[in-house]
Amino acid sequence: MTGMFRLAHLSDIHLGPLPELSIRELASKRVTGYVNWHRNRRRVMFGDTLANLIQDLQQEAPDHIAVTGDLVNLATKVETMAARIWLEELGKPHDVSVVPGNHDAYVPGALKRSYREWYEYMIGDNPLNAIGNSFPYVRVRGPVAIFGVSTAEATAPFFATGTFRRRQAMALAKQLEHAGAHGQFRVVLIHHPPISGSTAWHKRLIGKQFFSKVIHEMGAELVLHGHTHLDTLHWLKGPQGMVPVVGVPSASQAPGSSHPASRYNLFEIDGEPGKWSLIQRERGAREERPGIGWVRQRELLTDGRAVNTTSREDSRPAA
């Protein structure tokens, strides 16, 4: 490998404000989401928070950007189209990889619309012909192989579960094995955290045992997820050691709430097969001072071995 590869990760965009909804649109699960937005999320997830974070991210000029779902709130046609415009402003399809979240599949039929609008951002280097059947996808960017997994599905009111089925597991296993044999740094994108107990029962990932088995047998170097709106670090067992599983707060979360404020991860990938190094730098809004800045640094892999060294940063680290 020549030079460091920098991968940015953000999630749970929840683009606002909500559009005007028709009676027909409200006559579904959307009515509960509509009430939740106006009672809770509108106060803490609307304003300049997201715009400031994206401006900062683009100034950092990462080599690639990963977005792990929930671009919208109620998955209306207007929201889905607006999210397409937002993605185009974020970056070119070649430079941005997206997987859908449960809000992108809020009601039956919504996920197909998301697939159509965001297709170029959710398709692999060797795409299948059928929209919606392209998961898991694979994108190779420099030394990094990016795998996109979909857990999104429409659920009943008051549920936000996702599902990872056997078909995806089998396909992902083959893809990970192939990339590993070619010495690539493997990053898996998934919306729901594949970790037991990491979220409430009604928001859990169904089929996470399939995901854990794939990682245990085939391995990966990094798993990225959203959904919880928390900055978390878990580990899954791989064939050669532990694999970091990293969550990130919502990109739209304003400071002052019970959840961490708006943030993105910047991963620095260096080294060579079997001797990878991986540093996670968290950058975002901070309670103690205005603006976007460095929040924390974690060393996750050193010489191919899992570590967990954390430090806080109040200023930009030296180049």
Least confident of 16-20, 66-70, 297-301: 16-20
**pLDDT value at 19 more than 80:** no
User: Is 318 contained in some domain?
Assistant: no
Q: Are 269 and 278 in contact (CB under 8 A)?
A: yes
- The CATH number for 268's domain is 3.60.21.10
CA 131 to the chain's CA centroid: 20
User: Is 319 contained in some domain?
Assistant: no
Q: Which of 102, 155, 160, 153 is nearest to 132 (CA)?
A: 153
Band (216; pLDDT cuts 50, 70, 90): very high
User: Is 159 contained in some domain?
Assistant: yes
User: Is 46 contained in some domain?
Assistant: yes
User: Is 301 contained in some domain?
Assistant: yes
Q: Over the stretch 113-153, which tens digit does the pLDDT of each residue have?
A: 999 999 999 999 987 644 556 799 999 999 999 999 999 99
Q: Quote the pTM value.
A: 0.88
Domain count within the chain = 1
Q: Over the stretch 46-70, which tens digit does the pLDDT of each residue have?
A: 568 899 999 999 999 999 999 999 9
Q: Over the stretch 76-105, which tens digit does the pLDDT of each residue have?
A: 888 888 899 999 999 999 999 999 999 999
Domain span including residue 85:
5-312
User: Is 317 contained in some domain?
Assistant: no
Query: Tell me, what's the pLDDT at 206?
Result: 97
